[in-house]
A and B are shown apart, each in its own frame.
Chain A
């Protein structure tokens, strides 16, 4: 199956800083999603982005499918951005294969 690697595993920022999270995948995909897992465990959809660039407020994402990576950009980070960010790609059928996540901590 597809392998998904995320980096960095941990990231600590001061409020207001910008950050870039990376997701590498081992095979071509036609479905890639970014999620934010809040402290209560719920996975919040951020982007559906199998290719191209999308922006939503302070967050944006770019997927370069031909080079098998995706980037999530967080600008002007806030403490509420803290949590774990997951990249997931559709593997067999509708199965999502997740990376191990990036634990983001934003300090005030």
Chain B
């Protein structure tokens, strides 16, 4: 099976712009989660989508949003970019059924966003 894919891999934007990142989960996986990794804050959970519904949300401002399509692909959007949004954005997929090894999350290679 192909792994989790993320596009684009690298992105440079300027303050005030918006950005959309894409994640394609492993075939058959219905849950997609997004994480932000920065040197200062480490890995932090953004949100999780399961069957096109947001199932869980982290503590990020409303500028961060996401959605999931019927084929389980997910996008996240960041509006009005700030310098502090520069980070590695990681997407993870799982079968989505909580409990047991089916809960194992598999990560994509990430999108490295730089805001100038």
Tell me, yes or no, whether B68 is within 8 Å of chain A by CB: no
Interface hub of A43, A44, A88, A98 (most chain B Cβ within 10 A): A43
Indicate whether A94 sits within 8 Å of B110 (C-beta atoms), given known contacts A86-B43, A100-B42. no
Q: Are A95 and B58 in contact (CB under 8 A)?
A: yes
Give the docked Cα–Cα distance between A45 and B105 (Å).
8
Number of B residues contacting the other chain (C-beta, 8 Å)?
29
Partner of B109 from A35, A40, A45, A90 at Cβ < 8 Å: A40
What is A's interface to B at a CB cutoff of 8 Å? 30-31, 33, 35, 40-45, 48, 86, 88, 90, 92-98, 100-101
- In the assembled complex, the CB of B29 is this many whole angstroms from the nearest CB of chain A, namely 11
Q: Can you report 18 A-B residue pairs in the complex whose CB atoms are below 8 A from each other? A: A31-B103, A35-B107, A40-B109, A41-B37, A41-B109, A42-B109, A42-B110, A43-B107, A48-B101, A48-B103, A93-B48, A94-B50, A94-B55, A94-B105, A95-B33, A95-B45, A96-B43, A97-B45
Main secondary structure of the interface of B (DSSP, over half): strand
Contact of B104 among A33, A42, A93, A97 (CB under 8 A): A33
Shortest Cβ distance from residue B81 to the other chain A in the assembled complex, whole angstroms: 20
The digit string for B65-108, where 1 denotes a CB below 8 A from any CB of A, is 00000000000000000000000101010101011010111111
